[in-house]
Amino acid sequence: MIFVNRTLIDVVMDFNRYGARMIIVADPALAAKTFVGRYPINHGELFARDVCAYLGVPLTLADDHIVIGARAAGAV
């Protein structure tokens, strides 16, 4: 998937449409941030890790979902 100046929420919706693990954007303030990138559609976790590292926000990984921007048990 290639995206140019797309909001985080739009990119996450594409990953959720095609991926096995749901990505959740916990902080509404992050949803409107824009991104440019290129990722395989089945690499949502990699995308989420990169976004969290770039923005300096927590990442929470669970068996069935990934949370961007909220500290919880399992946050990395």
At 17-73, the pLDDT tens digits run 998 899 999 999 999 999 999 999 999 999 999 999 999 999 999 999 999 997 655
Residues linked to residue 35 through DSSP beta bridges, in sequence order: 6
Domains and CATH numbers, the chain: 2-68 (3.55.50.30)
What is the reported pTM?
Answer: 0.87
DSSP 42-67: T-HHHHHHHHHHHHT--EEE-SSEEE
Strand partners, 7: 34
**Residue tagged 């976004």 (tokens):** 51
Q: How far is it, in rounded angstroms, from Cα 75 to Cα 20?
A: 20
Q: Which among 46, 39, 71 has a CA at the least distance from the CA of 57?
A: 71
